[in-house]
Amino acid sequence: MTKLNDLKVKIFADGADLDGISAMHANPLIKGFTTNPTLMRKAGVTDYEAFARSVLDVVTDRPVSFEVFADEPEEIERQALVIASWGPNVNVKIPVTNTQGVFLGEQIKRLTSSGVVVNVTALMTLEQVENVTACLDAGTAAIVSVFAGRVADTGRDPVPLMSEAVKILLQKPKAELIWASPRELFNIFHADQVGCHIITVTNDVLNKLSILDKDLDQYSLETVKMFRTDAESAGYTIRTDDDRAASA
């Protein structure tokens, strides 16, 4: 397995907890940050812009992605321009379609042509990757975010899909591919092997870095001890027939 320090894929921390973001910012392994309205709502964020600006006060030296939440294409574009104005390291997340399934290609074209660094999100098919790639301005950096984890949730192997997506994006050398919504630490190595530029990882998965290359015999013993300790702490007992008879 490739060692952590040898990875070419960049790790972006995905979350909406300001304390967690601050902690991850102190880790040089983390090369950027992403969030979304769902994560922000779960974290109790009530003021979208205030939260975003507080993140940007902490993260000044690495890219941060904030997402639009409008649904009308024109309003999506307006929100994207406002979000982009919050800082030079801001990437604007644009969904591949709106909730009606309308492809937002025209908005992607105009935004990237005007120099906005978009992070086109929620892609799951190669057709979507091809369509988005065709809309990107060749002179502007961009990110294409394929939700490989959700693809895997459907029983499909995301590795061949992501490998092909890397090839498609070669048409736009300034564009980068994200392996999004990973389900386990090993997905970092999957992403690296197929040539993904970035993988977004939540704090719960990132915390597993502490057991990378852990001795498996030791890990097995610790697991056995955990089961034993939890059973004792719960006060579990298994009675024999003689025990039942004695207590009857």
* CA dist list (Å): 104 to 43, 111, 148, 192: 28, 11, 21, 29
Q: Are 62 and 33 in contact (CB under 8 A)?
A: yes
Is 93 an active-site residue?
yes
CA–CA separation, 73 and 9 (whole Å): 32
Q: How many CB atoms lie within 10 A of CB 138?
A: 11
Q: What secondary structure letter does DSSP report for 209?
A: G
CB 88 within 8 A of CB 56: no
Tokens in use for 210?
């502490």
DSSP 62: S
The whole-angstrom separation of Cα 52 and Cα 93 is: 13
Question: Catalytic residue among 31, 93, 109, 174, which?
Answer: 93
Residues taking part in catalysis: 93
